[in-house]
């Protein structure tokens, strides 16, 4: 797959994530995908496999009462197998409001996500939101 195709795939993934379209996410994530979430919050982990990764996405929705949004600002390709999503993550939970800039580096193979690595402008704010 070329870089333009990978960007289009990740646009579909963002749209699916923000609408809770689990079927599309299942289609777009490889069963061996790994998701890396840094920090010290209860959410921080390396989620091994598509089921664990999608479980993490579901947990985000559940713990925020469905208010979490990945507000995509830009997608850009880095070579043939990586796409970077620059976004703002916003949500409300237990009287707290999250509004943090972050990016995710996605690695794709054969049109499916095999790796996702989140990077936060303010990791402390992310961790505090989940505490």
Q: How many structural domains is the chain composed of?
A: 1
pLDDT score recorded for residue 78:
84
**Which token pair is 31?**
């069963």
pLDDT tens digits for 77-101? 988 899 999 999 999 999 999 999 9
Please give the pLDDT value at position 2.
Answer: 84
Q: Helices (DSSP H) in the chain: which residue ranges?
A: 3-19, 22-28, 50-63, 123-130
Domain that holds residue 126: 3-130
* pLDDT in the model for residue 35: 98
Looking at residue 8, what is its pLDDT? 96
CATH number of the domain enclosing 20: 3.10.450.50
The pLDDT assigned to 79 comes to 80
pLDDT in tens, 2-33: 889 999 999 999 999 999 999 999 999 999 99
DSSP letter (8 states) at residue 111: T
């Amino acid at each position: 797959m070329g870089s333009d195709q990978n960007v289009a795939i990740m646009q579909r993934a963002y749209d699916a994530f923000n609408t809770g379209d689990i079927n599309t996410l299942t289609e777009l994530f490889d069963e061996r995908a790994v998701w890396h979430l840094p920090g010290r919050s209860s959410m921080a982990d390396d989620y091994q496999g598509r089921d664990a990764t999608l479980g993490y996405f579901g947990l985000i929705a559940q713990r925020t009462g469905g208010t979490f949004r990945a507000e995509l600002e830009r997608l850009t390709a880095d070579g043939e197998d990586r796409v970077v999503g620059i976004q703002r993550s916003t949500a409300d939970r237990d009287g707290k409001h999250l509004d943090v800039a972050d990016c995710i580096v996605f690695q794709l193979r054969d049109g499916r996500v095999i790796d996702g690595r989140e990077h936060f402008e303010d990791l402390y704010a992310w961790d505090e939101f989940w505490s």
